[in-house]
Structure 1
Amino acid sequence: MNNDSFAAAWGPRMLAVLRIVTALIFLEHGTQKILGFPPPTGPTPPVFSLFWVGGFIEMIGGLLLLVGFLTRPVAFVLAGEMAVAYWMVHAPQSFFPALNGGDAAILYCFVFLYLAVVGPGAWSIDTSRRRSGAAPAANDRLRST
């Protein structure tokens, strides 16, 4: 098998692995803020505070990304959330991400932007619906315009 056929066969699968692993780790941040699991190091945020809303977005968005449903629009929203988190919380502490603790927010932002552009990969509800001929999901309609 040459490199092109290997990449063609495994590229979509590895994209799905990237999406699933990223979603699982991201989901954990949301459940920590909303459900208190895993146990947070500090208090959970008050209901409807900015941090609570962020946790809710992380929890629901993480679940949707995990199963690959509405991947493109969800990933775009999550990229925006991470950009806001970086500039509001981390950047004011220091210019350098290694010092301000914003490394993860930056990486999440750009992984989510990547997913918003390329889609969910091989194993997802979006891909399954597209293959079965079901009505196109919202993210498929957006791409065709």
Structure 2
Amino acid sequence: MNYQSLNRFAPTMLSVLRIASALIFMAHGTQKILGFPASERGMPEIMSRFWVAGILELVGGALLVIGLFSRPVAFILSGLMAVAYWTAHAPSHWIPAMNGGDAAILYCFVFLYIFFAGPGPLCLDASLNRDR
């Protein structure tokens, strides 16, 4: 098979990666802020570290889904996931599979990739830039 022919789908698949990652990421925010799905931890105290993380997950995830302000949002969320890994996961064990931080690492690097690569063609950012 000629894999070079798949290159034409790369920009669209970048958008698919952004949308799918953001939708799954948003679930962490809805769990913290809206209580859905229900969590053993319960609702975080307003202005606590977990509440701020939940707001960033919910709002940032929604912005990435629609592709609005994608690069700055992806950069902020990448940083959020790096902080989450090193403060919440790494202290319990040095192996990501053992400390539950593998998702945080993946989100960190997916969002960092989106920051550098852009949101792909299926986004509001592209629509707004065409109008200008």
Q: TM-score, normalised by structure 2?
A: 0.94
Cα deviations by residue, 1:41-94 (Å, 9 ceiling, x for unpaired): 221111110000000011110000000001000000000000000000000000
The size of the alignment, in residue pairs, is 131
1:109 corresponding residue in structure 2: 108
2:94 corresponding residue in structure 1: 95
1:19 corresponding residue in structure 2: 18
Equivalences for 1:126-145 in 2 at 5 Å? 126-130=125-129, 132-134=130-132
- Distance in structure 1 (CA, Å) of the matches to 2:48 and 2:87: 14
2:85 corresponding residue in structure 1: 86
Deviation at 1:32, TM superposition (A): 0.5
- Distance in structure 2 (CA, Å) of the matches to 1:65 and 1:122: 13
Q: List alignment gaps of at least 5 residues for structure 2.
A: none
Q: TM-score, normalised by structure 1?
A: 0.86
Identical counterparts, % of pairs: 56
Equivalences for 1:58-77 in 2 at 5 Å? 58-77=57-76
Cα deviations by residue, 1:96-141 (Å, 9 ceiling, x for unpaired): 00110000000000000000000101210011122x232xxxxxxx
RMSD: 1.2
Runs of 4+ off more than 3 Å: 2-6
Q: List alignment gaps of at least 5 residues for structure 1.
A: 135-145
